Amino acid sequence: MNIKKTAVKSALAVAAAAAALTTHVSAKDFSGAELYTLEEVQYGKFEARMKMAAASGTVSSMFLYQNGSEIADGRPWVEVDIEVLGKNPGSFQSNIITGKAGSQITSEKHHAVSPAADQAFHTYALEWTPNYVRWTVDGKEVRKTEGGQVSNLTGTQGLRFNLWSSESAAWVGQFDESKLPLFQFINWVKVYKYTPGQGEGGSDFTLDWTDNFDTFDGSRWGKGDWTFDGNRVDLTDKNIYSRDGMLILALTRKGQESFNGQVPKDDEPAPKSSSSTPASSSSSAPASSSSVASSSSQQIIPPSSSSATNAIHGIRTTPTVSKDRRSLVNAKGAKVSPNGHKRYRVNFEY
């Protein structure tokens, strides 16, 4: 009997310590945001009209991501990025990330944007096909990658946007919290199916759907509620808003999640929203976050990608990361447990 009591007490002590540790590491001082499509697709063209956020230490992005890439069980990492690094909003970083969690392969390049990404709206686009990935800004090609990593972009990806702060000053600059709050404005999004040679003018893409964000479509979009290692913010649904025909991502101090400013005017009119039935090649992407009272969306809690025990074992203190090793902490969000552990750090360097 004494042995049983001791075992029970030990188990309770471990559980209490784990709970305390989880609470400690998720007590971040800042809040960011991530928006993601609920459906993943294989190949396509993805366009967004945006005015990005920028201040030293921040990342404002649009990217494609295969849900679960961050899980270190041998599965491939599949990701294509557009990232505005706060220390230099006069350019953006393009990137393909392949390999596996803990041993990612990256191919960063930088491209000038004028006017600067945080000073004007631009139309950013990603084209993903079996043979190439292509990046354009305002209709002009800035990069095209054929073969190599492209052949490792297998399966499906969802479209995502996020606004966060990296702890790697070498990558994004020293964080300047005096610039908060910051906002990323998305006027509209268009997603095209991959239809080789059958698109408009013989192109490889046919328009599938458009969202002009007159309202928030909770059947199309999910809102992130997690964090990841190397990120000084918690991503929260409280920092996404649909206002005056604009989708807004915010980066704020914790407890100050709000948007009380004026929505900037985009000289290019927004297209009408349209819907489509998901293609048979689409798959659900449970997770990879507008929050005005009139929003029709509901918070979506993705399924857990690991047990609470594995999450606790994965906790570590992130060392200073040099730029060439930055990808080791560039995960786009470990999935949260629906049983209470909503936010936790995860070790991506196995």
Least confident of 21-30, 224-233, 326-335: 326-335
Q: Is the pLDDT of residue 215 over 50?
A: yes
Of 79, 108, 141, 257, the active-site residue reads 79
| DSSP type of residue 108 | -
> How large is the average pLDDT for residues 179-186?
98
For the record, the structure tokens of 105 come out as: 């392969």
pLDDT tier for residue 142 given thresholds of 50, 70 and 90 = very high
**What one-character-per-residue DSSP string does 114-140 give?**
SS-TTTS-EEEEEEE-SSEEEEEETTE
Least confident of 157-171, 209-223, 321-335: 321-335
Q: Is the pLDDT of residue 336 over 70?
A: no
> How large is the average pLDDT for residues 282-298?
36
Angle at 214 between CA 233 and CA 263, to 5 degrees: 60
Task: Supply the pLDDT for residue 26.
Answer: 54
Please name the helix (run of DSSP H) or strand (run of DSSP E) that holds residue 160, with its range, or none: strand 158-165
Residue percentage of the chain with pLDDT more than 70: 71
Q: Is the pLDDT of residue 152 over 50?
A: yes
Task: Supply the pLDDT for residue 135.
Answer: 98
Task: Supply the pLDDT for residue 78.
Answer: 98
For the record, the structure tokens of 97 come out as: 């990330």
β-bridge pairing 103-105 and 58-65: unpaired
What is the dihedral sign for C-alpha 277, 273, 241, 124? positive
> How large is the average pLDDT for residues 213-222?
97
- Residue 140 CB partners (closer than 8 Å, separation 6+): none
| DSSP type of residue 179 | G
Residue at 270: amino acid letter: A
Task: Supply the pLDDT for residue 275.
Answer: 83
Q: What is the pLDDT of residues 235-267, one digit of tens each?
A: 999 999 999 999 999 999 999 999 999 999 999
Q: State yes or no: is 40 an active-site residue.
A: no
Mean pLDDT of the chain: 79
Q: What is the pLDDT of residues 300-309, one digit of tens each?
A: 333 333 322 2
Least confident of 34-43, 191-200, 211-220, 282-291: 282-291
250: helix, coil or strand?
Answer: strand
pLDDT tier for residue 276 given thresholds of 50, 70 and 90 = confident
pLDDT tier for residue 27 given thresholds of 50, 70 and 90 = confident
Phi, psi angles (nearest 5°) of residue 323:
-60, -40
Kindly report the pTM of this predicted structure. 0.76
Q: State yes or no: is 79 an active-site residue.
A: yes
**Closest-CA residue to 46 (of 127, 105, 106, 100):** 127
Phi, psi angles (nearest 5°) of residue 151:
-65, -15
pLDDT tier for residue 136 given thresholds of 50, 70 and 90 = very high
Of 47, 83, 127, 257, the active-site residue reads 83
Task: Supply the pLDDT for residue 345.
Answer: 33
Q: Is the pLDDT of residue 42 over 50?
A: yes
> How large is the average pLDDT for residues 81-103?
97
If one compares 118 and 338, the residue with the highest pLDDT of the two is 118
If one compares 35 and 289, the residue with the highest pLDDT of the two is 35
202: helix, coil or strand?
Answer: helix
Least confident of 23-37, 131-145, 224-238: 23-37
Q: From CA 239, how far away is CA 235, in angstroms rounded?
A: 8
